[in-house]
């Protein structure tokens, strides 16, 4: 009987920790080169976005070994963003440039 409060405390702590982690969402790229490789080689890749009824305004933040790079904001359609969030917010040429920078940190 004395262990019941301990079990309840453990369950409450686990529930709180799961709630705190619910804000992060992992999105994987279905696109190939250079997006998939950039996701694999960078420390973090974040898509920062706001949306309204017609469009999504987004930018990408890439964290390399000792450098954080934020791209310029882009306006994309909701459909494009829902289908390919990273590819729609990060131009292919810029993704290639960022991928090349990951090789400088070896």
The answer to whether the beta carbons of residues 67 and 101 sit under 8 Å apart is yes
- How high is the pLDDT of residue 74? 95
Instruction: Kindly state the tokens that stand for 73.
Output: 């904001």
> For residue 8, what pLDDT band results from cuts at 50, 70 and 90?
very low
- How high is the pLDDT of residue 20? 41
Query: What percent of the chain is predicted at pLDDT more than 70?
Result: 69
pLDDT digits (tens, 9 = 90+) for 13-49: 655 444 444 445 555 555 588 999 999 999 999 999 9
Instruction: Kindly state the tokens that stand for 60.
Output: 């990408």
Residues near 27 by beta carbon (within 8 Å), at least 6 away in sequence: 47, 85, 86
pLDDT at residue 59 is higher than 70? yes
- Name the more confident of 30 and 76: 76
CA distances from 70 to 5, 10, 37, 90 (A): 48, 40, 18, 10
Distance CA 96, CA 69 (A): 13
């Amino acid at each position: 009987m004395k262990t019941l409060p301990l079990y309840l405390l453990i369950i409450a702590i686990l529930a709180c920790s799961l709630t705190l982690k619910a804000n992060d969402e992992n999105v994987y790229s279905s696109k190939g080169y250079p997006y998939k490789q950039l996701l694999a080689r960078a420390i973090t890749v974040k898509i920062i976005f706001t949306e309204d009824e017609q469009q999504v305004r987004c930018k990408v933040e890439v964290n390399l070994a000792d450098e954080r790079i934020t791209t310029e904001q882009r306006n994309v359609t909701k459909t494009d963003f829902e289908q390919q969030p990273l590819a729609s917010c990060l131009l292919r040429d810029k993704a290639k440039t960022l991928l090349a920078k990951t090789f400088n940190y070896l």
